[in-house]
Amino acid sequence: MNQKLALPEEVLMSIEKPERYIGHEINAVFKDKDKIDIRFAMCFPDVYEIGMSHLGIQILYDMFNRFEDTWCERVYSPWVDLDKIMREKKLSLFTWESQDPVREMDFLGITLQYEMCYTNILQILDLSNIPLIATERTWEDPIVIGGGPCSYNPEPIADFFDLFYIGEGETRYRELLDLYKESRKNNESRDEFLYKAAKIPGMYVPRFYEPIYNEDFTLKEFRRLKDDIPATIVKELVTNLDDTYYPEKPIVPYMKVTQDRVVLEIMRGCIRGCRFCQAGQIYKPVRERSIEFLKERAETLLKNTGHEEISLSSLSSSDYSHIEELVNFLIEDCTKKKVNIALPSLRIDQFSVDVMEKVQDIKKSSLTFAPEAGSQRMRNIINKGLTEEDIINGAVLAFKGGWTKVKLYFMLGLPFEEEEDIEGIAKLCNNIAAAFYEAIPKEKRINGKVSITASTSFFIPKPFTPFQWAKMNTKEDFIDKAEHTKHYIMSQLNQKVIRYIWHEADVSMLEGVMARGDRRLSKVILMAYKKGCIYDAWSEYYKHDVWLECFKECGIDPFFYTTRERKDDELFPWDFLDCGVSKAHLLREWKKAQAAIVTDNCKKRCVGCGTAKFDCGLCINR
């Protein structure tokens, strides 16, 4: 096959990392355009290295390309250097496989992994010559469909999408593709197709719904414009993770990407119920892949990719029922092949330390803990389920295993936070350092001392969590709390071995606005894009002043979405979606957070969250 390239050679030679754009990677799929009915472009709206590391796209890419009538290709955001050239030379954005224009596709599917990619969505549409506003598109344009975690509040970007797929993509896409083929065969209008699509479970078509606001801009009503489409859209999910799509031949890039390894998804969902965590709620119920499936797939993936590392993927790998058997199998199998094993999301206990001693280079690696909060009161508020004794004991086990580098992740600005909670971060870091000196005799200390890195991000309330009612701190509050944390760390006895870093407050503020925003934000996002905002997730390109200017020009107060109090019965912009977890349960958890009451995890006791209605996974017979 002659390799066609959409970008002229002089352009490729003038940009950073041209291998981002040439396609034809190992295991990429190519089909005869004359023998297929549907062309689907799967888009990750960020730079290639980030998008190529996303397992969800690999799964859907594999699924679509198993359909004989469909060819799924990929597209990513051009980096800023190529973006500039494409605009100057009026070059159209293209798919990586065929290098054909994106506008020639039947569907453009965009994964929505984080709020700060929203202007990149407009970049993708703009460079593809697709109208930015969905209602302005014709059959000359692809159907633009969104999915992923941010689709659980699609309203801020509703104007830009023809439809959203709510939930896990393996279940309903075949039905949607068949409807599309039938609709085109019958010469139906674009609106007729979307109207029928709105009746498929899990599909949300924004143009057929209308938000009605109160005088104070809270939501009064979310109105259907068609009587026979659902008032509430229930998420789609896979009930049996062994009887579903999972790639056997993932694409292997020519260049180093963020996750340059085989990824083995062992389970979906989480038993823990942390009150700040959206993923822990929207991916319920907990469903596991069988040990047999994982053993077979691990061997196949390593064979078909040549990767030298395999990573287990889940929200909490330690909670997988067969974790010991799986890890021991991987150690035996991977050691023979000289393959490294990455084990994220493990609790630090004796088993974990024993395993990591076998699979990691102790001299080079650091261990990561995520206490999230410094005080026990605050860990109870967020339902973290960790005591200081658990944390210290885990650290001591690691120190005795030979580790001397520890990373600790915390959040500042959590609901009901007080000064002693902030000081608790510094005290916990100090206590971990002290535990090292107490547990490890002087003659056995590698390099003589321990190294602790404390990192704080700023808490951002998310939809479908108990903290969706919470006030968010201002940028000034966050910076002040970060300075207090630094002061407290500097005043500790072991401050010389503690390093402190924190996240940017500007970006956190905008993410907070987008996370709980409504449809009125579409015009702000559009204006910000037209004023040059893209790659907002990258601090060097984020233009906070421009965003503030856009809010002002659009007459929208960003603090309406972040710092105000919310009543228990407020109607939220995402309440027309059903993620399985009921609003009543989330409100109960919000009240328990105020009283610092801990809720048991799902394996100990069913907490009545609502996902038992799906009758699968851990929720069967509950």
DSSP 236: B
pLDDT at residue 358 in the model: 76
Mean pLDDT of 500-504: 91
Question: DSSP states of 496-514 as a string?
Answer: GGEEEEE--HHHHHHHHHH
Q: Using one digit for the tens of pLDDT, what is the confidence trace for 65-119? A: 999 999 999 999 999 999 999 999 999 999 999 999 999 999 999 999 999 999 9
Q: Using one digit for the tens of pLDDT, what is the confidence trace for 543-579? A: 999 999 999 999 999 999 999 989 999 999 999 999 9
Judge whether residue 155 has pLDDT over 60. yes
pLDDT at residue 503 in the model: 87
The backbone torsions φ and ψ at residue 102, rounded to the nearest 5 degrees and listed phi first, read -60, -35
Judge whether residue 285 has pLDDT over 70. yes
Query: What structural domains and CATH numbers belong to the chain?
Result: 9-234 (3.40.50.280)
Contact in structure between 432 and 395 (CB atoms under 8 Å): yes
pLDDT band with cut points at 50, 70 and 90 for residue 364:
low
**Strands 287-288, 267-268: parallel, antiparallel or unpaired by DSSP?**
antiparallel
Contact in structure between 265 and 289 (CB atoms under 8 Å): yes
- Find the radius of gyration of the CA atoms of the chain: 25
pLDDT at residue 286 in the model: 96
Average pLDDT of the chain is 94
pLDDT at residue 359 in the model: 75
The DSSP element (H or E) to which 330 belongs, if any, is helix 323-336
pLDDT band with cut points at 50, 70 and 90 for residue 134:
very high
Provide the token pair at 359.
């699979």
| Separation between Cα atoms, residue 362 and residue 409, nearest integer Å | 20
Who has greater pLDDT, 356 or 438? 438
pLDDT at residue 457 in the model: 96
Q: How far is CA 387 from CA 352, 370, 383, 393, in A?
A: 18, 12, 11, 10
The backbone torsions φ and ψ at residue 561, rounded to the nearest 5 degrees and listed phi first, read -90, -10
pLDDT at residue 408 in the model: 94
Q: Using one digit for the tens of pLDDT, what is the confidence trace for 367-400? A: 888 999 999 999 999 999 889 999 999 899 888 8
**Strands 70-76, 107-111: parallel, antiparallel or unpaired by DSSP?**
unpaired
| Separation between Cα atoms, residue 595 and residue 1, nearest integer Å | 66
* Angle formed at CA 237 by CA 141 and CA 510, multiple of 5 degrees: 60
Q: Using one digit for the tens of pLDDT, what is the confidence trace for 406-434? A: 999 999 999 999 999 999 999 999 999 99
Mean pLDDT of 2-8: 86
Mean pLDDT of 201-222: 98
| Separation between Cα atoms, residue 350 and residue 360, nearest integer Å | 15
Return the C-alpha torsion angle 468, 470, 474, 478, nearest 10.
Answer: -100
* Angle formed at CA 338 by CA 335 and CA 341, multiple of 5 degrees: 65
| Separation between Cα atoms, residue 276 and residue 244, nearest integer Å | 30
pLDDT band with cut points at 50, 70 and 90 for residue 261:
very high
The DSSP element (H or E) to which 279 belongs, if any, is helix 279-282
Contact in structure between 370 and 346 (CB atoms under 8 Å): no
pTM: 0.96
DSSP 249: S
Provide the token pair at 117.
């990619």
| Separation between Cα atoms, residue 127 and residue 17, nearest integer Å | 19
Beta bridge partners of 26: 252
